[in-house]
Amino acid sequence: MSGVNRLPAPAGLLVDHDQPISFEFEGKRYKGLAGDCIASALAANDQWLISRSFKYHRPRGVLTMAGQDANVLVQLPTDPNVLADRYPITEGLRVHGQHYTGSLEKDRDAWIGTFAKFLPIGFYYKAFYKPKGAWQKWAPLIRRKAGLGVVDPTVDPGYYDKQYKFYDVVVIGGGPAGMQAAVTAAQAGAEVLLVDENPVLGGSLTYARFDIDEPNSEVTRQRLLAAIKASEHIEVMTDATCNGWFTDNWLAVIRGKRLYKVRAREVVLAAGVMEQPATFGNNDLPGVVLGSAAQRLIRLYGIRPGRRAVILTGNDDGYGVALDLAAVGIDVAAIVDMRSQSRSTPLVDAVREGGIKVILGHTVYEAIGTDRHIKAVMVSRIIRRGQCEDTGDVIDCDLLCVSVGYIPTYQLALHAGAKLHYDDESAMFSISDVPQHMRLAGSVNGIYDLDAVLADGRRAGWLAANALGLKWEREPLAPENTGASGRNFAWPIFPHPNGKDFVDYDEDLQVADIINATRDGYEDVQLVKRYSTVGMGPSQGRNSALTTARLVADAMGRTVAETGVTTARPPFAPERIAHCAGRSFYPERHSSMHHRHLEAGAQMLLAGVWLRPAYYGGKGERDRCMSEESLNVRNNVGLVDVSTLGGIEVRGPDAGEFMNRIYTFAYVKQQVGRGRYVVMTNEQGVVIDDGVACRFHEHLYYVTATTGGVDRVYQNMLRWNAQWRLNIDVGHVTNAWCGVNIAGPRSRDVLAKLCTDVDLSAQGFPYMGVREGRVAGIPARLLRVGFVGELGYEVHVPQHGGEALWDAMMEAGYAEGIKPFGIETQRLLRLEKGHIIIGQDTDAMSHPGEVHLAWAIARKKPFFVGGRSIQEIERRPFSRKLAGFVVNDLAAPIPQESHLVLRDNAMTGRVTSCYYSPTIGKPIGLAFMAPDQAVPGQTVSIRSTGGVLVRAEIVELPFYDPENKRQEM
Amino acid sequence: MATTQPAQHPRRSMIYRILREAGAEFEALADAAVAMRYADGGDEVALARRLGLADLSPLARTGFKGRDTPDWLVTQQVAIPDEPGQARRQSDDALVLRLSADEHVIVSDLRTRSELPATLDAEWQLSAERMCYHMPRADSYCWFAISGECATEMLAKVCGVDLRLDKFDDGRIAQTSLARINAVIVRNDLGTTPAFYVLADSASADYLWPCLIDAMKEFEGGIVGLAALRALV
Amino acid sequence: MKIVPCPLNGPRNISEFAYGGEVELMPDPNTSSSEEWAEYIFFSDNPAGVVREWWCHSATSYWFIAERNTVTDEIVRTYPASELFKERVEFKKESE
């Protein structure tokens, strides 16, 4: 037997009586059935206390049985805040209640509740915000007392992933309206996805009582299930939650460990309604449940939810609940009907015929209980709206079912821009302004009568298909009898003089808290929410929005319609960060010589998305390796991988004119076979990229760009020419080429062994010359450039030849002592030569004049991008200048990037690059500073590591080989 | 055909080391070595029908771009697609992809009978009279094939374009984001088996390949050699 | 996730695109006043209503024009930049 409250087989649509499952709650073993959720399995064993409340540590248990409340949040070893009324039990599952000190049964912090009166909303902030700093001290203590579950950071969350899905029509909600809408849309030929958060389709058909003939709903469900099964066009996702609507019908649907990114052409929202609690004293005691929760326990899980029950109702649905309880042998002590009279309907008549006592015009004044469960209710006569006598009859019971009304499951519609309206006449919320490509169907649309619900589903499915141009029979008419009338009792709120009349169970907010918020001056419902935190808990106002709106309206003397409600935003239900993160994608680019660097023992570093060798050697050997590598370039020959450099081809009859407009220098007259430095500025005159333009043909410039900047350079070029309409074509060829820079006084000797079809002599291939030839048999583009300040050649070959080129170079240079060098070493070498790196030695304000690039501007051209702005800038005094400095005190801590340049303790600039230079014999660097500081011979202060002030001497650039003899050898 | 090792050839797949680790048997093909089958690969044809991933990077391909490109290709007897975003199969089974009005990519057939990419590369010259420029696509793109009945669903894990077979016809091209990098995806069914070619940044091949294999796992897909794809045609 | 209809690639998720700002016509850089130039460089009209904007499809680096309503975020129309920029643009110095 799986618990004292379990009904005999075959009761319970979801459970399998032949499959017992044992699990633990609070260290005690329980038996449930396959198909049980945690809460149902506990209820079967008469364990109703599931957790403690957020603020007052009140005992809490099942309220909605629909995953709509925070009362049933429990802790699993792997997960906090799991909804016990949704999460299925599995063999050996270990479950704990949350938020108590000591034990769930005897929470040592339960005393806090007795001080509730002294903890009005805003109490913590009001009490602890003075003196300054007090809140920082108190907050951790207070938050420890109030909080949810515990995250175990060592738990491996497992494999989460995302997937796109595309459908013509997505129907959200698999109740009668949704099932029917799916069937109709599919009949018209639409590809349909039907999403439901429950394990089986059917929605209210699986638990609710629509009429006296109870089996009718199961017959309807089976008929719809058969139609869905028969259709080739319907995909069903159960146990799946549509957690948000985003622009253009992009739906986030979560199932298991996957987030589906569903794109729907049309959406039918058939999400149903959420039953609402009533407000009275101790309305949160375990054993006080919604009528629909009791029905779910009975029909879905085969559980008798009590032995002696009282029904508190304001509509006819409470009578249906009474019949359901009686049918499973529960003694229904009374129906307490808030209405002063009831109509004669089949349900009401059936109850009366069954001999169940009905007390009209009364309400429950308070629930009376132990510290863990309800044991009786006091029933009092209603005097006027919201007020009842404070005495009455006490009726013993262990179950109180509440049926006083509903709100539509409005969230997704509101995400899409629909509005929630309140009709003071019917006391109901309704959804209006539903956007294009979305339709409502069923009870979310304010339709309750089952035949009308099905008709509404049919109509919504038809309209969705029709919007897609799919024709199917005639347009179904909108149902006439909605069955909505009388569903909501207008004012099921009876504040108790001692409080504990909860409006928001998540946040432990009582009627007085909401009223006090309005008295503290927060008169708008949005402000009430922010001040009191009503609706901000895990259930996001599902059980509190309606009561809050009514209370605020009443307190302000307005109608509920005028008061409005707060906004609904995604997510619909709490979601895991793992769902948002999904599988991690970290794109990473490798040069074709990548594996050779690894084999040579390089320390790799991520430069943008490229992995590049920093230097070759052990982790702690950076300084030594850089020193050796740099000296080998200066004295011998070194090899560096420059494959990551951007490569763009500008080609066509107007290529020269285009280059003239896009870069600052002059290119029209550049000779074929020559390279020329390029600087790109944006329209503000700010330096954004540089490189070398190699003219290989009258109509072809091969332009290099910075590793991180090339994509932007390429897009810039295309955008400008979309306006200029010059006769050119631009090709992005970065990944088609790879290359090395072979540099050092012996580089020519090495290259000569591999390249015989190019005259490599100083006259035949001068500095800034460019050539095409073969290197190691591979077709190559050779650029004689001097970034590191020595004789050197960049050799670019097609990507596929990179590894072979590297191998050939290393082999050919063996006798000359060739060594690879990394980009850290390259940065040091170029710094010695005084070359700036765009993005490191420049920022988003740097114009050419302040970073020593004024020489690269051709001022006679009619136009280049940024030219006019540079003119304007240069007419004004400079605010800063980049200057080279050396640190003569070798004992001083070497300045780092972004260390401040000071004058009289005030910042005038910052260091952009700084290294110890083995060639110069001291630290050298570049820094922005005030123009009058940037004069060679002057000394400035830099606040270096540890706040130490370091004296730096300003020097002329470059630091190394000012006559450029080395690179022009 | 005799087996070989990629490092013995001037043209190497960007991921030849990964393929070698996976047990690839390589065969020489022009100036490159292609993974023909895998040791312990089992029934690779059945795998390719279900969900297979193959590296075609060593196969020939080229590209041309510029205003006069369509005209030049026509003078070279190439049947170019009518619209951008379409691919057209040639009589020798080479495939011509039209990426935009003036940019085309030409890829080899799986049996490498087509001479078209090599012929075009040989015929083309930079000319002042004609705005048709070479795009070295054999080097800028790695080239993978994803085949089988689960290909669409697996691609939906890494790509936001609707590639369902009834919405994305054989011969359609999507230039889009695939696992966060830019890629050209072209549907090119192999016989009756749905298949997609993926052309993506060659420098990202080391990243993309394992990323796709990871996405394939839940469908029980796997790596297949060129021989398996040939068997489908 | 908004869908942007790209004139080259068809409807795609907006995450495939980069926004390029309002389409603004450059005043003559050689004759305009400093004030006119500063206005062009630093100010946008930012009207509430339909605006012409530059958008770029990242995977193809394809620039096009979108007419978008900044109030409703509705994209009214997209088209190739050549519809707007039909003529070759020349720059001449004042003195020439």
Say whether A800 and B140 touch across the interface (CB within 8 A): no
Work out the number of other CB atoms within 10 angstroms of the CB of residue A406. 25
For tokens 């510290």, name the residue: A371
Q: Side chain identity at A59, as an amino acid letter? A: P
Question: The domain at A1-152 falls in which architecture?
Answer: Roll (3.10)
pLDDT averaged per 10 residues, chain A (length 969) = 89 96 96 97 96 89 95 92 95 91 77 67 64 69 66 87 97 98 97 97 95 80 98 97 97 97 98 98 97 98 98 96 96 97 88 94 96 94 95 97 97 95 91 96 96 97 97 88 92 95 94 93 88 89 93 92 83 91 92 97 95 96 97 98 97 97 96 97 97 97 96 97 97 97 97 97 96 97 94 96 95 97 97 96 96 95 96 95 97 97 95 97 98 97 96 97 91
- Classify A161-274+408-467 by CATH class: alpha beta
How do A362-369 and B173-178 pair as beta strands?
unpaired
A585, A734, A777 ranked by CB distance to B179: nearest:
A585
Is C81's CB within 8 Å of A723's CB? yes
Would C72 be classed as within a structural domain? yes
Size of interface B-C (CB pairs under 8 A): 29
Using a CB–CB cutoff of 8 Å, tell me whether A248 touches chain C: yes
| Å between C47 CA and nearest CA of chain A | 22
Contacts of A945 (CB under 8 A, 6+ apart): A893, A894, A895, A896, A899
Q: Is A653 on the interface with B (CB under 8 A)?
A: yes
Residue C93 forms part of a structural domain = no
Residue of C nearest to A265 (CA): C3
Q: Which of C1, C8, C63, C82 to mutate to test the interface with B (most CBs of B within 10 A)?
A: C8
Q: Are residues A224 and A179 in contact, defined by beta-carbon separation less than 8 angstroms?
A: yes
Tell me the sheet residues that pair with A910. Answer: A900
On whether residue C92 sits in a domain, the answer given is: no
Helix axes A511-519, A525-532, angle to 10 degrees: 110
Residue at B158: amino acid letter: V
Average pLDDT over residues B176-191: 97
- Please give the Cα distance from B231 to B226 (Å, whole number): 9
Contacting subunits of A (3+ beta carbon pairs below 8 A)? B, C
Instruction: Answer for the pair A539, A506: CB distance below 8 angstroms, yes or no.
Output: yes
pLDDT tens figures, B219-232: 999 999 999 999 99
C-alpha–C-alpha distance, residues A412 and A416, integer Å: 6
Both tokens assigned to A506: 């998540």
Residues B37, B78 share a domain: no
Per-residue DSSP letter, A212: S
Chain B CB contacts of A800 under 8 Å are: 10-12, 32, 138-139
Q: Do A723 and C85 touch (CB under 8 A)?
A: yes
Q: Could you tell me if A475 lies within 8 Å of chain B, comparing CB atoms?
A: no
Alpha carbons B88 and B79: distance in angstroms, whole number: 7
State residue A144's pLDDT score. Answer: 62
A736 and chain B in contact, CB less than 8 A: yes
Q: How far is A844 from chain B (nearest CA, A)?
A: 27
CB A895 within 8 A of CB A950: yes
Contacts B12 to A, Cβ<8 Å? 800, 803
Q: Smallest CA–CA separation between B175 and chain A, in Å?
A: 15
Asked if B167 reaches chain A (Cβ–Cβ under 8 Å), the answer is yes
Residues B145 and B30 in one domain: yes
Please tell me the distance from the alpha carbon of residue A587 to that of residue B205, in angstroms, as a whole number: 10
Let me know whether B131 and B151 are in one domain.
no
Answer yes or no: do B157 and B52 share one domain: yes
Backbone CA torsion sign across A233, A456, A301, A283:
positive
Alpha-carbon distance of C58 to C68, in angstroms, equals 19
* Contact between chains at A729 and B131 (C-beta distance less than 8 A): yes
Q: Which ipTM value was assigned to this complex?
A: 0.97
Q: What are chain C's partners, defined as 3 or more CB pairs within 8 angstroms?
A: A, B
CATH class of this structure's domain A491-578: mainly alpha
Pick from C9, C16, C59: CB nearest B85: C9
Q: Which of A261, A263, A863 sits opposite C91 (nearest CB)?
A: A863
| Domain spans in chain A, listed from the N-terminal domain onward | 1-152, 161-274+408-467, 277-404, 491-578
Contact across the interface for B177 and C58, Cβ inside 8 Å: yes
Q: In the predicted model, is pLDDT for residue B35 greater than 90?
A: yes
Residue A370: its pLDDT value, please? Answer: 83
> C59 vs B160: CB contact, 8 Å cut-off?
no
Closest partner CB to B175 (pick from C9, C13, C15): C9
The answer to whether residues B44 and B147 belong to one domain is: yes
Are B33 and B121 within one domain? no
Look at residues B137, B157, B192 and tell me which one is the last residue of a structural domain: B137
* CATH number for the domain that contains residue C25: 3.30.2270.10
In chain C, residues with a C-beta closer than 8 Å to the C-beta of B173 are none
Domain range for B69 is 62-137
Q: What's the rounded mean pLDDT across residues C58-77?
A: 96
Which of A93-107, B65-79, B153-167, C61-75 is least confident? Answer: A93-107
Q: Do B85 and C62 touch (CB under 8 A)?
A: no
- Does one domain contain both B48 and B68? no
Q: Are residues B132 and B150 in the same domain?
A: no
Closest-approach residue (CA) in chain B for A699:
B128
CATH of residue B30's domain is 3.30.1360.120
Q: Which residues on A lie below 8 Å from C82 (Cβ)?
A: 722, 725
Give the pLDDT confidence score for residue A715 in this predicted structure.
97
Q: What is the per-residue pLDDT for C45?
A: 86
Whether residue C12 and residue B176 make contact (CB cut-off 8 A), yes or no, is yes
- Looking up residue B133, the CATH number of its domain turns out to be 3.30.70
Q: Do A862 and C82 touch (CB under 8 A)?
A: no
Interchain contact, B201 vs A162, CB within 8 Å: no
Question: Which residues of B fall within a CB distance of 8 Å from C63?
Answer: none
- Amino acid found at A455: A
- The domain containing residue C7 runs over which residues? 3-83
Q: C96 pLDDT exceeds 50?
A: no
Closest alpha carbon to A461 in A783, A856, A786, A190: A190
For tokens 């820094």, the residue is A927
Confidence of residue C95 (pLDDT cuts 50, 70, 90): very low
Would you call B162 and A164 a contact, using CB atoms and an 8 Å cutoff? yes
Mind telling me how many Å the CA of B219 is from chain C's nearest CA?
Answer: 26
Pair (B200, B106) in one structural domain = no
| Contact state of A722 with C34 under an 8 Å Cβ cutoff | no
Interface check for C82 against chain B (CB to CB < 8 A): the answer is: no
Question: Is B50 in the same domain as B109?
Answer: no
Q: Are residues B29 and B112 in the same domain?
A: no
CB A201 within 8 A of CB A228: yes
What CATH code is assigned to A277-404?
3.50.50.60
How many domains is chain B built from? 2
**Domains held by chain C: number:** 1
Q: How far is A863 from chain C (nearest CA, A)?
A: 6
In a domain, residue C96? The reply is: no
Q: Nearest CA to CA, how far is B182 from chain C (Å)?
A: 5
| Test mutation, A869, A870, A873, A874, chain C, max C CBs within 10 A | A869
A734: closest chain B residue by CA: B140
Same domain for B147 and B33? yes
| 3-class SS of residue A263 | strand
Question: Taking CB atoms and an 8 Å limit, are A722 and C29 in contact across chains?
Answer: no
Q: Which of A163, A729, A800 lies at the smallest CB-CB distance from B66? A: A729
CB atoms within 10 A of CB B199: 27
CA of B1 vs chain C CAs: smallest distance (Å):
39
